[in-house]
Amino acid sequence: MTIADDLGEQERLTEVYGRLRLKLLDLSKKNRMLNYNLGSRSRRHLQIVDEVMDEIYKKLAGDDATVRIEPLDEPEDVPPEEKTEEFIGALEHAKVSNLEYLTKLEALESAGRDDELPLAKLERELRDHIRSEFGLPPRPKKAEINRADLARQAGIDPNFELGPVKTKPSHSDGALQTLKFPDELDRIMGKIVADAKLAEQEMGISTLFQTNPSFLA
């Protein structure tokens, strides 16, 4: 076989192997490596804000590849309009006179469920009732809160397009900022860790540096 024949055979084999590799690749929308939907309600990913890409790489690829995933602090539980003397007075009066509230409170106590969470939920219902009596608008639900404005108030840039250079100390600390509230972050991190464990069990592939959600809280 001549050198020319040998080169021709190499080119042919290269072309054949190239076609075979393409057949092995999933180029459809099912391939999440190529097509990924960053839905705001997804529990399979986290979008980072107010960070610098090069600094993120240093945090993840450094000798100590442990980072904290920071939640967005929720707004105060008690809105300003519920801190007025008039509202507080109406609330205290309702706690001893509102029959629906007293009946539900008695039921909780009888069932031994008068702990912090149920009591807080019951009081929130009473506060909402008073808001209605005062002609105040309904208290915004978590889904209705403008997270971008809340982040800006906390000095956090809510833009998902990460900046090119660090401009403040938090860009080089050991944390990555998100726009998720604490309870949402816990659920998402739990799902990511569970998916990583499943991938390791089924395919022997570890998709996390450390499958322990506590270091990400």
pLDDT in tens, 56-77: 888 777 766 678 899 998 877 7
Q: Per residue in 92-142, pLDDT tens?
A: 999 999 999 999 988 888 887 766 778 888 988 999 999 999 999 988 777
**pLDDT score of 88:** 92
Give me the residues paired with residue 69 across strands: 176
Lowest mean pLDDT among 100-104, 132-136, 156-160, 199-203: 199-203
Distance (Å, rounded) from C-alpha 69 to C-alpha 209?
14
**pLDDT score of 4:** 60
Give me the residues paired with residue 177 across strands: 49, 70
Q: Where residue 2 falls among pLDDT bands split at 50, 70, 90?
A: low
- Tell the residue number behind the tokens 């996390």, with chain if given: 208
Q: Helix 116-133 vs helix 99-110: angle between axes, to the nearest 10 degrees?
A: 170
This prediction has a pTM of: 0.59
DSSP state of 28: S
For the chain, the residue count is 217
160-174 mean pLDDT:
87
Is the Cβ–Cβ distance between 160 and 46 less than 8 Å?
A: no
- Tell the residue number behind the tokens 């945090």, with chain if given: 59
